[in-house]
Structure 1
Amino acid sequence: MKNLLTAFFGLLLISSVHATEVAVVDFRGALLQSNIGQEAAKGPKQKVAEMDVRLKKEQADLETAANNLKRDELTLSADEFKKRRQGLAETQNKIRALAASMQRQAKELEKQLIESLTPQGEAALKSLIEERKLDLVLNRQLSLYADADADITNELVKRINKDN
């Protein structure tokens, strides 16, 4: 009787087990790697490059001014030296603020880019989910481990390219 009950419960458990199809995806990465992502990123990349050139020029000017102050330190009066050193500190603070502002602008540009590409990416992902009959799709960054076969990022890039 005990064996019969064990067999019965075993059959119930086996029949109630449903295989869950799970995949992981780097959605942001797929959007940026796709052809439409690469094309849409050209403008923001150029703006970021221009900001970077400006920042490097400001930093080089500050370094030149610091070297000049160091060179002239012995020939300047104490008041003039203090005044120029204070000016350098103010310039350095402005450059830090400029760098932080540029970083915020770059993040905002990327955010806008991702938002503009998301509808095409979502449509491609939805069709991929339906095609592969997936029950669950996780963000790759949130998973601790995923087999290479479970990662559908490359498939998503191909689907976005095909659909657009």
Structure 2
Amino acid sequence: MKIFITAIFALCFISSVQATEVAVVDFRSALLQSNIGQEAAKEPKQKVAEMDARLKKEQEDLEASANNLKRDELTLSQDEFKKRRAELAETQNKIRAMAANMQRQAKELEQQLIQSLTPKGEAALKSLIEERKLDLVLNRQLSLYATGASDITDELVKRINKDN
């Protein structure tokens, strides 16, 4: 009886001790580094660059206006100086709002890009999971520690490129 109980315990213990294949991946990065991601990102990058150039021009104009006001400060009447300073502050607030709006638009463009690429990336990841017989795949940013061998981001980029 003792041997029988020991055998059952050993079988239960052996079946519970299985190797778990775990990998980490930076899915977003893999999508953006892939060929289809690079191609799809061209238009959003151009839009962001245009918005950035427009913002820089507005900031340069504001700086020039501030320098002009500083230069003319002693020659302007107090009322005119206050008026121009208020206009300058209003312009500065508009530029801040413009910058915030542009950041929001850039983030939305990136989210749309990721969303459009996700199905292809998921298909490539699923095939990689099946091929490597992975039990668990974690987002790289959520893991505290992972060896380089457990990071499959580069493999995922190659698989996306191969499949598309």
Normalising by structure 1, we get a TM-score of 0.94
Q: CA deviation at 1:107?
A: 0.2
Write the letter of the residue equivalent to 2:94. K
Provide runs of 4+ in structure 1 moved above 6 Å: 1-8
- Aligned position for 1:115: 115
Write the letter of the residue equivalent to 1:106. A
SS in 2 for 1:161: helix
SS in 1 for 2:86: helix
SS in 1 for 2:138: strand
- Structure 2 gaps of 5+ residues are none
Q: CA deviation at 1:7?
A: 8.2
- Structure 1 gaps of 5+ residues are none
Q: CA deviation at 1:2?
A: 9.1
Q: CA deviation at 1:76?
A: 0.2
- Aligned position for 1:134: 134
> Structure 1 residues 126-135 or 15-24, which shifts more?
15-24
What does 1:1-164 correspond to in 2, within 5 Å?
9=9, 12-164=12-164
SS in 1 for 2:75: coil
Q: Identity of paired residues, percent?
A: 84
Deviation track 1:97-139 (CA, whole Å, cap 9, x = no partner) reads 0000000000000000000000100000000000000011000
Write the letter of the residue equivalent to 2:98. L
Q: CA deviation at 1:5?
A: 7.1
SS in 1 for 2:74: coil
Deviation track 1:7-49 (CA, whole Å, cap 9, x = no partner) reads 8745642332111111000000000000000000000000000
Q: Let me know the Cα RMSD of the aligned residues.
A: 1.7
Normalising by structure 2, we get a TM-score of 0.94
Counterpart CA distance in 2 for 1:119 and 1:5 is 50
Deviation track 1:72-119 (CA, whole Å, cap 9, x = no partner) reads 000000000000000000000000000000000000000000000001
SS in 2 for 1:24: strand
Counterpart CA distance in 2 for 1:3 and 1:81 is 99
Write the letter of the residue equivalent to 2:53. V
Counterpart CA distance in 1 for 2:78 and 2:134 is 74
